[in-house]
Amino acid sequence: MANVNANVELLRQSELAKLPLFSGDGKDQFTAEQWIERVSRARTTSAWTPDQTNTFVYNALRGNALLWYDSLRRTGINRDAWDEFRPAFLESWSTVRTTRTATVNLADLKQGQSEAVTTFYPRVVKAVDDLEALVTNGVFPLPAVVWPDAITDVPEFVALPVAVRAAAASRLVKHGADAAFNHMALNLFISNLRPALRDELLKLQPATLYEAFQQAVQLERIAVEPKRTTLPAMPVETEPATTPVIAPPAPPDTNVDDLDQQIDALSFKLRNLKQRRGPRPASSRPSNGNSSGPNRSSGPSNRPPANRDTVCHYCHKKGHYQVDCHSRRRDNAPMVRTSGYPSGPRSYSGTPNYGPRPPYAPAAGPVHQVDQTPFYNPYNPFAYANPSTQDFQFAES
């Protein structure tokens, strides 16, 4: 059992010995005052011996602070004695407080737009502490007349030692100074809050600094929009806000009347969508002489000039477009697609609907025949062709 207790004590000592590192380069996690306070509390709580204290402190020093520790041997300061090391460390590494730094801290004392009250409050307290630290040795002067005659005439008071009466007077002056600094901190805290918090806090009229801090925290919590800490069990999907399109309902039946109603509903919805889209801009795509779409024009266009490699879609000869084809103009034929079929209406089967085939009319010249059957040109169903001459001839009515 004794060994178990000893091991537990060793573990506790090793945890306490893990002091925060201090290098003195301005990037330390704690200030010199805060670091010394942590060492003092760990030393007192664990009852460290002088050797243990010296070892733990040495292991926690880094960089410039470690070099300073090694230089103490030339200064006459016993670095192994805590009572000598502590004031020397604070004198070398503590925060410099001057009138200028205190004034700058007061000028910057303003709560940020996203700064919490719990973060702003310590800044106010530190600014006031810096002002108080400027007092020489922390001793405030006593007034010329410390005690009134009503007290000095009391025999029992006169019988008190002078040191006791001086200590009591110093405590009273220190209490008055603390009250003055606290009152100054209260006004600095309230006046430098964000305007919304400041106006609400002035209505409550807090009496002390800490009371003002508590009320400001509550007001800030009320003003902040509450946030959900856990996700909902089933997230609700929301559709984007759009203008609803009211359409007549379509029944689930599939007879002819129901299909007509569905068509009407889709047509109604399509009209609404077109109205929301607005007028469609005219197409600026240039067309050429072989185009057979709805935007084709028989007049001049932005097409490039024909060259010797340009193939006409109508007569399949090179050197011109079908818009300029003399054969097409002579035959009074329409423009044709790349497949050779006219760009006319199509049947429900998807093939061009040319109507009845024109009657055959023998050509004026010799006609190429295969088994006494005239050759039918699939590229121009309105005319029969002689493949040797590519002359297209229409039947006379």
pLDDT in tens, 66-93: 999 999 888 888 888 898 898 899 888 8
The whole-number pLDDT of residue 372 equals: 43
Buried b (16+ CB within 10 A) or exposed e, 49-84: eeeebbebbeebbeeebbebbeebeeeeeebeebee
pLDDT of res. 347 = 42
322 and 336 Cβ atoms separated by less than 8 Å: yes
In a domain, 76, yes or no: yes
Q: Is residue 310 part of a domain?
A: no
89 and 122 assigned to the same domain = no
My answer on whether 72 and 131 are in the same domain is no
Q: Would you state the pLDDT for residue 98?
A: 75
Written as six digits, the tokens of 184 are: 């100054």
**Residue type for position 328:** R
Domain total in the chain: 2
Question: At which of 46, 61, 93 does a domain end?
Answer: 93
Which is nearest to 135 in space by CA: 184, 182, 181, 88?
A: 181
Residue 106 and residue 182 share a domain:
yes
Is-contact 375 369, C-beta < 8 A?
Answer: yes
For residue 55, give its domain range.
Answer: 2-93
Look at residue 189 in the predicted model and tell me its pLDDT.
94
- Is there a single domain that holds both residue 121 and residue 218? yes
DSSP 136: G
pLDDT digits (tens, 9 = 90+) for 170-203: 889 889 988 999 999 999 999 999 999 999 999 9
Closest CA to 289 of 314, 334, 324, 326: 324
**Looking at residue 124, what is its pLDDT?**
92
Residues 89 and 103 both lie in one domain = no
**Region class of 355: left (phi > 0), else alpha (psi between -120 and 50), else beta:** left
Q: What pLDDT is recorded for position 353?
A: 46
Residue 380 confidence (pLDDT): 52
Residues of the chain with pLDDT under 70: 1-17, 137-138, 225-257, 280-302, 339-341, 343-397
Looking at residue 208, its pLDDT comes to 93
CA dist., res. 163 & res. 169, Å (int)? 10
In a domain, 113, yes or no: yes
Q: Are residues 105 and 219 in the same domain?
A: yes
Burial class of residue 22 in the structure, from the number of CB atoms within 10 Å of its CB (0-12 exposed, 13-18 middle, 19+ buried)? buried
Residues 31 and 111 in one domain: no
